[in-house]
Structure 1
Amino acid sequence: MTQRRTSPALVVALTVGLVLTASLTGCVSSGSSESRGSDSAPSIADSSVPRTGTVAEGSDTAASSGTTKPATAGRDVVSTGTVSLTVKKPTDAATRAVRIVETAGGRVDDRTERAATKGDHGSASLTLRIPSAALTETLASIRALGKVDDVSISARDVTAEHTDLGARVTALRASVDRLVDLMSRSATTADLITIESALSQRQSDLEALEAQQAALGNQIALATITLRLGSIAPAPPAPAPADFLSGLTTGWNALVTFITGVIVVVGVLLPWVLPPAAVAAIVLLVLRRRHRAVLS
């Protein structure tokens, strides 16, 4: 009786197919869970910001009054927002804000400043990355730098997305390990080429997912806050002219400013002066004609 022998190439091909099928099944199930979880991301506008892994539950009224609502633990959130302050000197306040954030363990990703000019102390805008665990205390210190004009903080729940990314990364790592082990036991060149092709695809997918996982983890760990600093206080007056040329320039500028002001005043008064003047001219003309008629 003849006994059939199974080809090694067939065994390798079947094994690779089973590995890829198992990996794809795990990714698909994770993706569907991700799409379900992403719909539950809340948005809040509260000056009290969640700690690490928590999100504050409040309304817009709570945000404007500065009250803090109870937080729900065990959730991954991405916190973003803007804070607008009116300060005496925006550039100095920006330096103090940077010091506050760095003391809390954060960093400044972007900083833009506009220098002070005549009648204006300038402005500043900073993009701050603040650790979520210290966000509430850090924002309180920043708000104390000046008068608060506007605060808008939102928290997006990414718990399901973060969990699904971790599961998909774990599944792909296991798939890569199985393919590496299988490649070490391949018997033919054809089997080796087939496994290497599948392994390359798996490793590429794994690197992409690991990059997404790292980026999301960074967003969870560090909140992104845009700080805008402005001032309504007038800047110090310009220094007095020091020589003849600067004095002549200052005098000329003053003369131009005076003439411009006079022209503006005349333009404002002209519509009120012309009609009475026209009526008075007509009355005088009529009186003169009557006077001549009487004399003749």
Structure 2
Amino acid sequence: MTRRLLSMAGIVIAGSVLLTGCGALGGGQSAVDPGAPVTDGSAPDWAEQPDVAPQPGSDSGGDEGASGGGQPEEAPDEDRAVIISGTMSMRVGDPITMADAVADAAEARGGSIDRRAEGASTDFQPAWAMLTVRVPATQVEDLLTALRGLGEVTSVDLGEQVVTDQVRDLEVRVEASRASVDRLTDLLATAADTETLLEVEAQLTQRTSELEQLLSEQRALEDQVAMSTIEVRISSTTVEGPTGTPSFWDGLVAGWSAFLAWGATALYALGQSIPALVALAILALVAWLVIRRLLRRLPAPAAAPASAVANPATPASRVE
């Protein structure tokens, strides 16, 4: 009996040992997954491990991906370069006086008048004026408001042209060209022989010319950005001229003037044609004299015999 109990206890202990060993082996296999990728001690790939929270400081990469995938950022408003230009039409009673008021309003806001043209009223055309106004870009809206208060504004057409890229490109090119000129200037001071000196001088002259051209383009572009251009067209509200509506007498005078103008034109044409007519008359007279002399030299036609005239030919029936 005792031996049977000891045998059963030994079997139970041996089975427990075997189960414990199998569990340990199974845990080791689950800890090392043969299908898992080997990292070799490198940093973990957060894209392939979504369940693992990213470390602090890794938000910058996520923000860059969410910002648009590396697309260029837009320039802030204060860095944008814009050229403003347009036209404005007005209708007033006295365009000439209004042109003076527009010029004064532009000059009061730091602007100037690049071009001015005007025409007085006639019997068939009203008075008019046209001005090309240059005004600082920041004063455009203020100027338009002031002009609306001076007279009737019939139309306004303003446009913007963004030239931020052109401005930045010119800045980069100017800096690069200036650096090249500085390097060539240093090389010119340390030239060892005449041949090197002449070559460096030629290149320096070319680069200096290119730099001056770039600076000129940069100044012109900056001026267009800083000063906006507005063309103001001013017309009259009436078509009556200073003498009123044309009358019958005005038409008669205009007709007589037209007749005199036609007569003067006809006399002018006649005066132009007289030399040619005289030359043709002389040629015709010479031709007539030559033909007349030739006709006189021709022999006169022979006269018929008197007997043939007195005794006409006898009939054929009497001839034997």
User: Do both share a fold (TM > 0.5)?
Assistant: yes
1:216 is the counterpart of 2:225: no
Give the aligned partner of residue 83 of structure 2.
Answer: 78
Q: Secondary structure at the match of 2:80?
A: coil
Tell me if the contact between 2:92 and 2:152 (Cα under 8 Å) persists in the aligned partners: yes
User: How many Å separate the matches in 2 of 1:160 and 1:250?
Assistant: 63
Amino acid of the structure 2 residue aligned with 1:157? V
Cα deviation 1:100-119 (Å, max 9, x = unaligned): 00111111111010112236
CA distance in 2, matches of 1:231, 1:179: 63
CA separation of 1:256 and 1:179: change in aligned 2, threshold 3 A: closer
- CA contact under 8 A between 2:87 and 2:156: conserved in structure 1? yes
Q: Give TM-score scaled by structure 2 length.
A: 0.52
1:115 aligns with 2:112: no
- 2:243 is the counterpart of 1:253: no
The aligned amino acid for 1:89 is: D
Partner of 2:197: 192
Change in CA separation of 1:200 and 1:237 when aligned onto 2, cut-off 3 Å: closer
TM-score, structure 1 normalization: 0.56
Aligned partner of 1:225 in structure 2 is 230
Q: Equivalent residue of 2:110, what SS? A: coil
Question: AA paired with 1:129?
Answer: R
Q: Which amino acid aligns with 2:139?
A: A
RMSD of aligned alpha carbons: 2.7
CA offsets, 1:81-109, max 9 Å, x none?
00011111111100000000011111111
Name the counterpart of 1:59: none
Equivalent AA in structure 1 for residue 188 of structure 2 = M
The match for 2:177 is 172
Aligned to 1:158: 163
Q: Structure 2 matches for 1:1-80, cutoff 5 A? A: 72-80=77-85
8 Å contact kept, 1:125–1:228:
yes
1:250 Cα deviation from its structure 2 partner: 7.3
- Displacement of 1:163 after TM fit? 1.2
Sequence identity (%) = 37
Whether the aligned pair in 2 keeps the contact of 1:90 and 1:121 (CA below 8 Å) is no
Q: Who is 2:95 aligned against?
A: 90
Query: How far is 1:183 from its partner?
Result: 0.3
Contact 2:122 2:241 in 1 (8 A): no
- 1:212 to 1:252, Cα distance in 2 relative to 1, 3 A: same
Alignment check: 8 A CA contact 1:124 1:230 kept: yes
CA distance in 1, matches of 2:91, 2:134: 21
The alpha-carbon deviation at position 173 of structure 1 amounts to: 0.7
* Count of residues in Structure 1 that have an aligned counterpart in Structure 2: 181
- Residue type at the aligned position of 2:181: V
- Distance (whole Å) between structure 2 residues aligned to residue 254 and residue 76 of structure 1: 59
Letter in 1 for 2:183: R
Q: List alignment gaps of at least 5 residues for structure 1.
A: 1-36, 41-52, 55-71, 240-248, 258-296
Determine the C-alpha separation between the residues in 2 that align with 1:204 and 1:95.
43
Unaligned segments of structure 2, at least 5 residues: 1-71, 255-320
Report what 1:205 is aligned to.
210
SS at match of 1:187: coil
Q: CA deviation at 1:144?
A: 2.2
Amino acid at match of 1:150: S
Amino acid of the residue matched to residue 250 of structure 2? Answer: N
User: How many Å apart are 1:160 and its aligned residue?
Assistant: 1.1
Cα distance in 2 for partners of 1:135, 1:170 equals 32
CA distance in 1, matches of 2:88, 2:154: 8
> Contact conserved, 1:120 with 1:232, CA < 8 A, in 2?
no
Structure 1: 4+ residue segments shifted above 6 A: 254-257
Q: Report the AA paired with residue 108 of structure 1.
A: I
Superposition deviation, residue 145 in structure 1: 2.2
Distance 1:155 1:129, change over 3 A: same
Return the alpha-carbon distance in structure 1 between the equivalents of residues 192 and 252 of structure 2. Answer: 97
| 1:151 CA drift (Å) | 0.6
- C-alpha distance in structure 2 between counterparts of 1:137 and 1:222, whole Å: 14
Change over 3 Å in CA distance of 1:255–1:208 after alignment to 2: closer
Cα deviation, residue 149, structure 1: 1.3
Code of the residue aligned with 2:103 in structure 1: it is: V
